[in-house]
A and B are shown apart, each in its own frame.
Chain A
Amino acid sequence: MLTRRIIPCLDVKDGRVVKGVHFLNLRDAGDPVELGTRYSDDGADELVFLDITATIRSRKTIVELVQKVAENVFIPFTVGGGINSVEQMDELLRSGAEKCSVNTAAVKNPDILTQAAQRFGNQCVVLAIDARRSKTKAGHWQVTVKAGTEATDIDAVEWAVEGAKRGAGEILLTSMDADGTQKGYDIELTRAVADAVGIPVIASGGAGTLEHLYDAVVKGHAEAVLMASITHFESYTITQMKEYLRDRGIAVNL
Chain B
Amino acid sequence: MLVVIDYNIGNVKSVCNAFDHLGCPVELSCDRRKIEAASALVLPGVAAFGFAVNALGSLGSVIKDLALAGKPLLGICVGFQMLFDKSSEFGTHNGLGLVSGDVVDIPPGRVIPHMGWNKVVLPNDMALFAGLGSEKHFYFAHSFYANVTDKSAKVAYTDYGFKLPASVQKGNVYGTQFHPEKSGQQGLQVLRNFAQIANGRGN
How many whole Å from B151's CB to the nearest CB in chain A?
28
Q: Are A96 and B13 in contact (CB under 8 A)?
A: yes
Distance from B200 Cβ to chain A, minimum over Cβ atoms (Å): 26
Whether B17 contacts A3 by the Cβ 8 Å rule is: no
Q: How far apart are the CA atoms of A224 and B137 in the complex, in Å?
A: 16
The answer to whether B113 and A74 touch across the interface, beta carbons within 8 angstroms, is no
Pairwise interchain contact B17-A121, C-beta atoms closer than 8 A: no
Residue on A nearest B13 in the bound complex, by CB: A96
A118-B139 in contact (CB<8A) = no
User: Contact check: which of B108, B117, B118, B142 meets A121 at CB < 8 Å?
Assistant: B142
Contact with B along A183-200 (1 / 0, CB 8 A): 000000000000000111
Question: For the complex, is A177 an interface residue (Cβ under 8 Å from B)?
Answer: no
Contact with B along A1-35 (1 / 0, CB 8 A): 11111000000000000000000000000000000
Q: Does B46 contact A (CB under 8 A)?
A: yes
Q: List A residues 90-117 near B (Cβ within 8 Å).
A: 90, 93-99, 117
Does the CB pair B18–A120 fall under 8 Å?
A: no
Quick check: B118 and A45 within 8 Å, CB to CB? no
| Alpha-carbon separation in the docked complex, A98 to B46 (Å) | 8
A123 at the interface (CB under 8 A from B): yes
Q: Do A124 and B183 have beta carbons less than 8 Å apart?
A: no
User: Counting CB contacts under 8 A, is A75 at the interface?
Assistant: yes
- B13 & A70 in contact (Cβ 8 Å cutoff): yes
| Known contacts A75-B182, A120-B48; A45/B117 CB under 8 A | yes
Q: Which of B20, B118, B141, B142 contacts A76 (CB 8 A)?
A: B141
Contact present for B111 and A120 (CB under 8 Å): no
Question: Are B143 and A123 closer than 8 Å at their CB atoms?
Answer: yes
Residues of B within 8 Å of A120, CB to CB, are 10, 46-48, 51
Beta-carbon contact of B183 and A74 below 8 Å: yes
Interface residues of B in 45-85 (CB under 8 A from A): 46-49, 51, 78
B31 at the interface (CB under 8 A from A): no
B175: A residues at CB distance < 8 A: none
- CB A204 to nearest CB in B, in angstroms, measures 16
Q: Does A170 contact B (CB under 8 A)?
A: yes
| Nearest Cβ on chain B to A183's Cβ, whole angstroms | 27
Q: Given A76-B139, A90-B10, A94-B12, do A123 and B113 touch, yes or no (CB 8 Å)?
A: yes
Of the candidates A1, A99, A118, the one whose C-beta lies within 8 Å of that of B118 is A1
- Interface positions, chain A 14-73, Cβ under 8 Å from B, are 40, 45-46, 67, 70-71
A239 on the interface (CB 8 Å rule)? no
Residue of A nearest to B6 (CB): A94
A2 touches B143 (CB 8 A): no
Chain B's interface: helix, strand, loop or mixed, by majority?
mixed
Interface size for A (C-beta < 8 A) is 38
**Given contact pairs A74-B188, A93-B46, A200 touches B113 in the complex (Cβ within 8 A):** yes
- B202 part of interface (Cβ distance < 8 Å): no
Contact across chains for A71 and B48 when beta carbons are under 8 A apart: no
Q: Looking across the interface, which residue of chain B has its beta carbon closest to that of A119?
A: B51
CB of A82 within 8 A of chain B? no
The 0/1 profile, CB within 8 Å of A marked 1, for residues 163-203 of chain B is: 00000000000000001011111011000000000000000
Q: Given known contacts A199-B112, A223-B116, A253-B137, is B184 in contact with A124 (CB within 8 Å)?
A: no
Is A199 in contact with B111, judged by CB distance below 8 angstroms?
Answer: yes
* Known A93-B10, A96-B11, A121-B48; contact A71-B17, beta-carbon cutoff 8 A: yes
A198 and B142 contact, Cβ closer than 8 Å, known pairs A74-B188, A94-B10, A124-B46: no
Residue ranges of A at the interface with B (Cβ–Cβ < 8 Å): 1-5, 40, 45-46, 67, 70-71, 74-76, 90, 93-99, 117-124, 169-170, 198-200, 223-224, 253
Closest 3 CB pairs of A and B: A93-B10, A253-B117, A123-B141
Residues of B within 8 A of A (CB): 9-14, 17-18, 20-21, 46-49, 51, 78, 89-90, 108, 111-119, 137, 139-143, 159-160, 179, 181-185, 187-188
7 example contacts (A-B, Cβ-Cβ < 8 A) are as follows A5-B117, A45-B116, A118-B48, A119-B48, A121-B89, A122-B113, A123-B142
In addition to A70-B13, A120-B10, A169-B115, 13 A-B residue pairs with Cβ atoms within 8 Å of each other are: A1-B119, A3-B118, A5-B116, A46-B116, A75-B182, A75-B183, A97-B11, A98-B141, A120-B47, A120-B48, A124-B10, A198-B111, A198-B112
